[in-house]
Amino acid sequence: MNYVNKPVRKTDAMALVTGKPVYTDDLAPKDCLIVKVLRSPHANAWIEEIKTGTAAQTGGIACVFTYKDVPQKRFTLAGQTYPELSPYDRLILDRHLRFVGDAVAIVAGESEEAVDKAMKRIKVKYRVEKPMLDIHQAKDGDILVHPEDNWLAKVPVGADNKRNLCASGVEEHGDVEEALSGCSYTVDFTYRTRPNQQAMMETFRSYCYLDHFGRLNVVSSTQIPFHVRRILGNALDIPSSKIRILKPRIGGGFGAKQTAVSDVYPAFVTWKTGKPSKMVYSRYESQICSSPRHEMEIRVRAGADEDGIVRVLDVYSLSNTGAYGEHGPTTVGLSGHKSIALYRHLQAYRFAYDVVYTNVQAAGAYRGYGATQGIFAVESAIDELAAKMGMDPVRIRELNMPMEGEPLPAYGDCPTAPSCTMDQCMARAKEMMNWDEKYPFKDMGNGKVRGVGVAMAMQGSSIAGVDVGGADMKLNEDGSYTLGLGCTDMGTGCDTILAQIAADCMETSMENIVVFGVDTDISPYDSGSYASATTYTTGTAVMQACEELRTRICRLGAEMLGASVDEVDFDGSYVSCGEKKVSLSDIAVKGTCGNTQELQVTRTYSSPISPPPFMVGMAEVEVDKETGSTKVIDYVAVVDCGTPINPNLARVQTEGGIVQGIGMALYEDVQYSEKGVIRNNSFMQYKIPTRLDIGDIRVDFRSSYEKSGPFGAKSIGELVIDTPCPAIANAVYNATGVRVRELPITPEKIVMGMRKNEAEAE
């Protein structure tokens, strides 16, 4: 192999670093109508009256739309494959406003100044009602977020809008209560994670125009082009065949753009007016009305025998989907399935959950997709169990961790681990951190103390039996190849990785492969870039397309040589039969003249399993005992992602995920006022870590070989955010004796915890 498992530079690297116009707003026509949305100042209100006449007469204004102008057909903005588990609970504009920031009216005009002026002239009379802001009171509460009768759950997931339930369920194996009663050691604690913003550099944005066939063309910064086409068809109540989605380069997504946050508004404007339009979210809008991580409260009961074998896990997740149900039924599943499965000896387990509606910003997909919350809770609880037993937290994990061929409890996609080097990851991380010398803490003698913590994690590789990857491989007349993809490169480098796979399959150079981005009219269908699916699922589709194309090249080459296809070989440059050979370029030319053999192959792949990647993370933190200030001094990560197709990209994926996890653990805290107003509406209030806020991040790999993946690869994109929260929380406990069960771990919580411990000791 010349490219796979090699640190190849990203194919678009030079274009990006030299500032080439590649992003959505770079490409939008200069004469686009500017689209903005007037947003609700109330968390729960009804529009009694709305006057737009003065606004519509403002100079430069093309249109003003209200709830009276839109289709009364509910839909979801969640970019998910059929069956759509998220409820159909939205309208483009609704008379009932369900959170501060909900859409009241759409305004489009020739300039931003004109639109801003018109928005101020819209007069709205609201009937304000008390909002539902408490997740504990939401289920069966007396305030309904969605009282409407045309609310629709297309799949039975335990949803009931008349109970404020977006989803509810219980999964159980064995007798949990009996297993707990037989354990020598048990713990029962509740952990809470806050909403987190993805905070990608490029905010939500899209532009639209009608082509000469009258079809709606949407250029969008999205992870889900094919799903956006369906979503807009539902929202506008028009056939999807009238819609075309194009995806340019994306300036980050991290799951936020798995929800069609911005597309529907300019699409509606263009469809109604026939004029091109664009919408670019401000950072303020991205903070108050986008698709952040689901807030979750997770109760964990765990039990172990006297030897440290974890025998039972009972996990209950209470998830806050906010005002709308995008991704609500699906994120919660990972909070249990990806955390319980980390402990292979379970005699019994139970996973129960409720996903509730509240009058806050709707949540959505964020890297880790529920596993991050669940793993924080379970890995914290296991450390608390180890402390109760007086056992090294590394040791308890060594006794219980996933092993190749061993059970993965509650992980339905693979009852046993098909490939796994978690034991090697733990051993290597322990070595890199110098765990035995540093555990549990070291007093620095200057009022500061350093502690270490550990956590395990696993994720998935696509959604088994659901996600679809597509690839189109074509031989061009000059002997080059075009690789058509339906997946989305959002900065991860998947275009590069898939080109590496294709180059090695075709035994050619990467320079000989042209990768083109997504156009739903001509690209092969692909679910999109989410669920850790791209390298694993679309990569397999690329391999299968290349294999078939090689067969066709050999068939045509054999015909040109007057031989049978069984007699020829193809080395990437020539098809040969003994001493006779014909070049690839000659075959390519023959493919355009008097030929009936198609030298283009489209392949679609959907995996029946979702082999999990595995990871061990270890954090060393330094805590100032006087102020509670905490810094991550060192972070060690060892990852099993199967074969890393591109080790450099795998490494930076890991580093980036860890930084996001550090932010979730220590800094990021979405807060609401008693009226449902977000206090963290800019980067002045919502703190994310910079390079100056983190210490060393050291990454290593312990590769397994996943037989079902391309060249033995599994996923890596989401896994890498899952260990920092529990590892840091565990390190803080080892350093200070303070167990913080609600993120973020702030200096105030540490200081107050230390004072409480001192008072109890007196």
Residue 109 pLDDT exceeds 90 = yes
* pLDDT tens profile 393-413: 999 999 999 999 999 999 988
DSSP class of 180: H
Residue percentage of the chain with pLDDT more than 70? 100
* pLDDT tens profile 15-43: 888 988 889 999 999 999 999 999 999 99
pLDDT of residue 498: 97
* pLDDT tens profile 566-584: 999 999 999 999 999 999 9
Residue 63 pLDDT exceeds 90 = yes
Which residues have CB under 8 Å from 56's CB, separation 6+?
A: 63, 64, 118
Give the three-class secondary structure for 50: strand
pLDDT of residue 36: 98
Tokens standing for 508?
């050619």
Query: Which amino acid belongs to residue 407?
Result: P
- Shortest CA distance to 218 belongs to which of 234, 236, 202, 206? 206
Structural contact between residues 220 and 520, judged by C-beta atoms closer than 8 angstroms: no
Label residue 667 by pLDDT band (50, 70, 90).
very high
Label residue 762 by pLDDT band (50, 70, 90).
confident
pLDDT of residue 16: 85
What is the spatial distance between Cα 736 and Cα 306, in angstroms, rounded to a whole number? 27
Angle at 621 between CA 617 and CA 623, to 5 degrees: 155
What is the spatial distance between Cα 39 and Cα 203, in angstroms, rounded to a whole number? 18
Query: Which amino acid belongs to residue 563?
Result: A
Taking residues 319-348, report their average pLDDT.
98
* pLDDT tens profile 151-185: 999 999 999 999 999 999 999 999 999 999 999 99
Give the three-class secondary structure for 40: coil
Residue 693 pLDDT exceeds 90 = no
Residue 340 pLDDT exceeds 90 = yes
Structural contact between residues 716 and 613, judged by C-beta atoms closer than 8 angstroms: yes
> Parallel, antiparallel, or unpaired: how do β-strands 205-210 and 694-701 relate?
unpaired
Mean pLDDT over the full length of the chain: 97
* pLDDT tens profile 274-327: 999 999 999 999 999 999 999 999 999 999 999 999 999 999 999 999 999 999
Angle at 192 between CA 682 and CA 341, to 5 degrees: 120
